[in-house]
Structure 1
Amino acid sequence: MVAVMFAADTADANAGPGFEVHANIAYAAPVGAGTRGHLLDLYLPRQPGPKRRPLLIVMGGSGWYSDNGKAYAADLAPFFTKAGYVVAGVSTRSSRQAKFPAQLHDVKAAIRWLRANAGTYDIDPRQVAVMGDSSGGWTAAMAGLTGDPGRSTDVQAVVDLYAPTDFLTMDAHMLPGACDHFNHAFGLTECHADPRSPESSLLGHPIRTRPDLVRKASPMTYVTKHSPPFLIAHGERDGLVPTHQSDLLFAALAAAGVPATYYLVPGAGHDKRIVSPANEQAIVRRTAGTSPPGTRPTLATIEAFLHSSLSH
């Protein structure tokens, strides 16, 4: 990506409870007046710790319609900075501003910027994880699976919350009545296959007419035995992204021998609260086999996964 500019510098840092916030840092040139798809926010722990800290990059979902995915990091920063992580909320361009693969290029540019500035913010460039929900989970999965080991955009762990992974198979696995609600919400008639759907908008073409682009936009296309470890979580009552999407990704990771854990949460929908402190039961599947029901993932579960994955 092109030149780097700062929209806010360290002198403007805001004090949070146990962390500092450095907001609206431009990791690339702006994409137009008033846009935010080139910005990131950094949350730095205040408490003493190692000279270099692991980095968690966070992206919120919006059906690719928003360029403010970095806002999701504000919800996670209190917990993860206390656990010793630098947290970066990263925004990417919306589908109205740019078509795929622009969003993947954006997150890679942000990863490169963060590594290039690791010394300034006490980041360990060897310990980088990505996390997102829905379309932000798709961005995280794509970033994790397309990075070359040892290169500037490589990441060491991925947390994917209910991301779409194969646009052409979504409609066949929607819950009963879910397509009707989806059509009503987005003003569509053909569910995810509609020429105006979020997925078609991302690609710039109706998904049925461009299976080649659908394949390029599928995380499964890029799974190899060298892929980083994954934690996947999906609610069984998700009415927007069917659980089959996570099933497919988990199966691809398992087939390649990639360490992965998949939480399928009964009663949960398409909601960030799938990661909950509640001691509720979930089906937990791991690449070593299917495990009996356990608790749904909490932030502590995710941190334990990150600690294990980034420590290797």
Structure 2
Amino acid sequence: MALDSAVQDLLDGLQQQGLKSFEQLSTEESRAVVDSFKGLQLPTREVAEVIDETFDGPAGKQQVRIYIPEASHPLPVVFYIHGGGFIAGSIDVAEEPNRALANDAGVIVVATSYRLAPESKFPAATDDTFAALKWTAENISRFGGDPTRLAVMGDSAGGNLAAVAALRSRDENGPQISAQVLVYPAIDANAETASKREFQEGYVITSAGMDHFWESYLSSPEDADHPHATPSNASSLTGLPPALVLTNEYEVLRDEGEDYAAQLSAAGVDTTHQRFDGLVHGVYWMSGAVPRSHELHDAVVAFLRDKLKVQE
């Protein structure tokens, strides 16, 4: 399918601005670029309540933000991990999609912070997000949440961390997870796929940029083999929660996400995969610039309402 017209306009604008690939930017510049995605989003919607909480994480105080929609009964919970190539991103950059998700899916969304690379390398991010997931399961009932209906979700690098959180919950006596949502996830540090070659330049994330993210995150090349970095390397995927894996046609991460969906399915995991033709990396955060962003949002909402048994 041809590139979506709104995406083409966006890419043309980025090219005219002279935006460089991430491997050519400093860490501070990369973080500023990722933060600028807030400018590509629709105005934030009101939710009934937004609460900022902190808890004692593995390396000190850690922040979570809780979005609570209007409801009078215990609500399912979505634990959300932001993307940003392991080096950038924050709770703030996903404020708009998280508010929309809480309202439309009828769930409490808990968005977590985590230590970023290169200052904090693997396994800091997965240790932080897993700790925040356990905190959520133990504490969300205080905010009207139902810890027995808990999903993990992330996009891009956050999709990696969400997949790893599901693995760790299974293997380390963690919370019972009802569903996992992986939005164009970064799965394999050593991926050599057709999509990584075909879309290596010109589509928001380049192949060299993705390699740079992994090099910034991993402490050594050997870390790439660890299933907490590359979840597709787990000895078994059996027993993982039902999964929704979303991929986009024009992007380097497409094939590794689809390969992981196939692995999950082959392991007997209830897996739904959907590819969005004509779209590129990052559109989940582009609701204002790319109208078709709602297609990813709607797919997530439908899946979560089904798997978490959201009441009408």
> Which residue of the partner structure matches residue 12 of structure 2?
none
Higher relative contact order (CA 8 A, sep 6+): 2
- The 8 Å contact of residues 69 and 92 in structure 1, kept in 2 or not, is answered as no
Q: 2:250 aligns with which of 214, 237, 242?
A: 237
Q: Deviations over 1:192-246 (max 9, x none)?
A: 55xxx211221112x3xx26635541122335221101111111111xx331111
> Which residue of the partner structure matches residue 230 of structure 2?
218
Quickly say closer, same or farther: Cα 1:146–1:139, change in 2 above 3 A. Answer: same
> Which residue of the partner structure matches residue 21 of structure 1?
50
> Which residue of the partner structure matches residue 254 of structure 1?
265
- Aligned-residue RMSD, C-alpha: 3.4
Letter in 2 for 1:257: G
Q: 2:216 aligns with which of 173, 192, 201?
A: 201
> Which residue of the partner structure matches residue 81 of structure 1?
103
Q: Could you say what secondary structure the match of 2:100 adopts?
A: helix
Query: Residues 3-22 of structure 1: matches in 2 within 5 Å?
Result: 17-22=46-51
- The 8 Å contact of residues 126 and 228 in structure 2, kept in 1 or not, is answered as no
Q: How many residues align?
A: 264
| Whole-Å separation in 1 of the counterparts to 2:259 and 2:163 | 13
| Whole-Å separation in 1 of the counterparts to 2:92 and 2:165 | 15
Alignment gaps of 5+ in structure 1 = 1-15, 281-294
Provide runs of 4+ in structure 1 moved above 6 Å. Answer: 274-280
Quickly say closer, same or farther: Cα 1:173–1:211, change in 2 above 3 A. Answer: farther
* Offset of residue 120 of structure 1: 1.3
* Offset of residue 38 of structure 1: 2.0
| Whole-Å separation in 1 of the counterparts to 2:227 and 2:296 | 32
TM-score normalised over the length of structure 2 = 0.73
Quickly say closer, same or farther: Cα 1:177–1:65, change in 2 above 3 A. Answer: same
More helix by share: 2
Q: Percent sequence identity over matched residues?
A: 25
Quickly say closer, same or farther: Cα 1:29–1:150, change in 2 above 3 A. Answer: closer
| Whole-Å separation in 1 of the counterparts to 2:57 and 2:172 | 26
- The 8 Å contact of residues 71 and 89 in structure 1, kept in 2 or not, is answered as no
1:91 matched to 2:107? The reply is no
Q: Deviations over 1:157-185 (max 9, x none)?
A: 11111111111124664244625888xx8
> Which residue of the partner structure matches residue 138 of structure 2?
116
Quickly say closer, same or farther: Cα 1:215–1:170, change in 2 above 3 A. Answer: farther
